Amino acid sequence: MSRKPVPAQSGDRSRVEVLFDKPQALSRLFGQYDQNLVALENRLGVYITARGNRVGLEGPAEQVAVARDVLHDLYARIGRGEDVDTGLVDASIAMAAEPTLDGIIRADGGATGPGGGASIMIRTRKKTIVPRTPAQAHYMQALTSHDMIFALGPAGTGKTYVAVAQAVAQLITGSVQRLILSRPAVEAGERLGFLPGDMKEKVDPYLRPLYDALYDCLPAEQVERRIASGEIEVAPIAFMRGRTLADAFVILDEAQNTTPAQMKMFLTRFGQNSRMVICGDPKQVDIPGGVEASGLADAVRRLEGVEGIAMARFTAGDVVRHPIVGRIVEAYEGAD
């Protein structure tokens, strides 16, 4: 592989060669038509050549060092069975640029690069989830060290998905006995009218994103069996009133659409040996009429700094969907 060099913008130039011991893995590392290497060149302004199991990097010294770390990281992820795409290239670059993560995601030692020997990961029946941005890494740490976590930020940052994965992992290992997923049954700016069917059929459309995350972490038959047995419960927030949620991993999604009274009711359901995660985007409030304040904003204002409660904040830069989603979020936030 050889392409026209990308001109350097600034800084001392450096040339580095990276040697990989498993040539059969390089097709996955490079991507179809070398798309992952092209993305790395474009993002960092370096020039990459590949011959056999050797990859040459040339460009500004600082950017070459980042590119080398990213290649090691992606290579290690392939060894752990992950699929590498341009989105993961972007995520790995973001991780490499976060100096405060040294000794956290590389706690196992060994391989170099931001993901080498990653110790922060969530293992479920279907996949292993590792952080794709620095904010996700800190969030995943908080999920193991705090009893109550508020995850705040725009859509596509993995707030709910990572929480569901952690909940499934703890359910599998037996550290909790139940998994309870909830969200307010509020339309996103639409009026859907009276829905047909029984209560479950009426509320399921609102809870579909939670089901999707579950099926991504567990085989379908296990999801159905655990729902039938009561190990997994997916219900609107109104169904939480009057309960004490002990020995459970509890997740509230779309929390910005709760009222302060609903949020207080939900938070006070917290029981022994439980963990509670509250996910929401404070800028996407869909409470009808817009008269009542958001329960999420009210809770964050009251509980910031309270012992045992962590706040994980995400920005448009942490969006792990298609890169254009992050740019859309930034555009809307800029307009606001």
Tell me, what's the pLDDT at 208?
A: 79
- What CATH number should be reported for the domain holding residue 45? 3.30.1370.10
CATH of the domain at 202: 3.40.50.300
In a domain, 329, yes or no: yes
| C-alpha distances in Å from residue 163, one per residue of 102, 144, 199, 244 | 23, 11, 26, 20
Residue pLDDT, tens place only, 171-229: 988 889 999 999 887 654 444 445 555 555 655 666 777 888 888 888 889 999 998 99
283 and 166 part of one domain? yes
- In percent, the amount of the chain with pLDDT more than 90 equals 27
**Same domain as 64, residue 192:** no
| pLDDT-based confidence at residue 25 (cuts at 50, 70, 90) | confident
Is the domain of 211 the same as that of 85? no
Coil vs helix vs strand at 27: helix
Q: What's the rounded Cα separation, in Å, for the pair 168 and 213?
A: 10
Residue finishing a domain among 53, 68, 101: 101
Predicted pLDDT of residue 147: 93
Report the C-alpha dihedral over residues 155, 237, 161, 205, rounded to 10 degrees.
-80
- Average pLDDT (149-157) is 92
Look up the domain containing 255 and give its range.
122-335
Tokens 């009808």: give the residue: 288
Bigger pLDDT: 196 vs 146: 146
**What per-residue confidence (pLDDT) applies to 247?**
93
Give the pair of three-digit tokens for residue 95. Answer: 């991780």
Q: Locate the DSSP E strands across the chain.
A: 13-19, 47-51, 54-60, 122-123, 128-129, 148-152, 178-183, 232-236, 248-252, 275-280, 309-313
**What is the percent of the chain where pLDDT is above 70?**
79
Does 317 share its domain with 181? yes
Higher pLDDT, 260 or 88: 260
What mean pLDDT is predicted for residues 50-78? 88
Burial label, 254 (beta-carbon count in 10 A; 0-12, 13-18, 19+): buried
pLDDT at 239: 84
pTM of the model: 0.68
Is 83 a residue whose pLDDT tops 50? Answer: yes
Task: Kindly report which listed range (213-227, 291-305, 321-335) carries the lowest average pLDDT score.
Answer: 321-335
137 and 232, same domain (yes or no): yes
User: 331 pLDDT exceeds 60?
Assistant: yes
- The answer on 41 and 187 residing in a single domain is no
Please count the structural domains in the chain: 2
> For position 197, what pLDDT does the model report?
55
Residues 67 and 210 in one domain: no
